Amino acid sequence: PLNLNPKPLHDHGEGFFTWHAYDPSCKAELWSTAYISPEGIVLFDPIVWPKDTPRPQSPVQIVKTNSNHDRMANVLWNSLQASVVEKVLGFEAIPLPGAGENETAYFHHASRSLIVGDALINLSPDPLMLLPAKYCTNLDLLKTSLKRLLELPTQRIFFAHGTPILQDGVGRLKTVIS
Interatomic CA distance for residues 42 and 54, integer angstroms: 15
The domain limits of the chain are: 10-172
Q: What is the pTM of this model?
A: 0.92
Distances (CA, A) of 96 to 45, 55, 156: 16, 31, 18
The bridge status of strand 120-121 relative to strand 113-116 is: unpaired
Contact assessment for residue 5 and residue 20, using Cβ atoms and an 8 Å cutoff: no
**What class, spelled out in words, does domain 10-172 have in CATH?**
alpha beta
The residues near 129 (Cβ < 8 Å, ≥ 6 apart) are 120, 121, 122, 176
- Write out pLDDT tens, residues 65-106: 987 766 666 666 677 778 888 899 999 999 999 999 999 999
Number of neighbours of residue 7 by Cβ within 10 angstroms: 13
Q: pLDDT tens digit string along 144-163?
A: 999 999 999 999 999 999 99
